[in-house]
């Protein structure tokens, strides 16, 4: 009996990333926004496939390779069917696919409130100015600190958000230093700090923030509290 050959998932090629009319989509779903200034609100999520980072705490590794090619119009049609005005593009890393730019423009043109969550390793200056950009500055414990593109801080507008994922006291002190060094509280209205699940207690992080009177917003991932046993589609 012939053994089955398992086909290993592959990363997007350079040519696939450069397509303007096709997106590799991991999943599209309707859920409660779990993070950021819009936490708690119903939201449509468009999760793109692929990411050049490998953060130690990543909770969406399934999006590195899994996904299917979709035309922009098919994505728009699926989004329209949900009847929700708030949308977040996420990943993976959505800015690694060139077609993310026309889909963002199309969504904004149709009147949607659009957000994009990016790992901070890609230039954000090309993102449609109508889009809220949530930029993750990678902390030391992520293992990806050297990938941060600090030039992005110059492109921030007040409605954008900066996010720090904190896994240790070292991460917190580093994030505090960046907040002060780049005067982030005068660049954006919302600076987010959240503990790495299972690595740092919410209590510790909250107390450090209060002790230092940091101008930041403490957050936990609401979707993991609401649906603790579900990893996808929430």
- Ordered by start, the domain boundaries in the chain are 14-226
Write down the pLDDT at residue 8. 53
In CATH, which superfamily holds the domain spanning 14-226? Aldolase class I (3.20.20.70)
pTM across the whole model: 0.93
Taking 70 as the threshold, does the pLDDT of residue 218 lie above it? yes
What angle is formed at CA 218 by the lines to CA 231 and CA 227, rounded to 5 degrees? 20
Euclidean distance between CA atoms 234 and 231, whole angstroms: 7
The model's pLDDT over 31-59, given as tens digits with 9 standing for 90+, comes to 999 999 999 999 999 999 999 999 999 98
The model's pLDDT over 106-137, given as tens digits with 9 standing for 90+, comes to 999 999 999 999 999 999 999 999 999 999 99
How many alpha carbons lie under 13 Å from residue 184 in its C-beta half-sphere? 26
Greatest CA separation for the chain: 68
């Amino acid at each position: 009996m012939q053994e089955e050959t398992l086909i290993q998932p592959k990363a997007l090629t350079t040519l696939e990333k450069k397509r303007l009319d096709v997106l590799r989509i991991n999943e599209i779903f309707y859920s409660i926004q779990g993070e950021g200034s819009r936490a708690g609100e119903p939201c449509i999520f468009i999760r793109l496939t692929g990411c050049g980072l490998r953060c130690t705490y990543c909770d969406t590794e399934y999006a590195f390779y899994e996904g299917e090619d979709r035309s922009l119009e098919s994505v728009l049609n699926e989004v329209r069917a949900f009847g929700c005005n708030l949308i977040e593009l996420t990943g993976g890393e959505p800015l690694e696919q060139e077609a993310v730019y026309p889909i963002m423009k199309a969504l904004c043109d149709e009147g949607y409130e659009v957000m994009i969550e990016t790992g901070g390793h890609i230039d954000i200056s090309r993102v449609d100015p109508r889009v809220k950009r949530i930029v993750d500055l990678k902390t030391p414990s992520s293992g990806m600190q050297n990938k941060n593109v600090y030039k992005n801080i110059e492109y921030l507008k007040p409605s954008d958000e900066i996010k720090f994922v904190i896994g240790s006291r070292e991460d917190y002190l580093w994030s505090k230093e960046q907040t002060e060094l780049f005067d982030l509280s005068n660049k954006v209205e919302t600076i987010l700090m959240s503990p790495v699940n299972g690595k740092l207690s919410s209590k510790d992080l909250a107390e450090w923030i209060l002790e230092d009177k940091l101008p930041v917003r403490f957050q936990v991932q609401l979707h993991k509290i609401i649906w603790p046993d579900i990893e996808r589609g929430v």
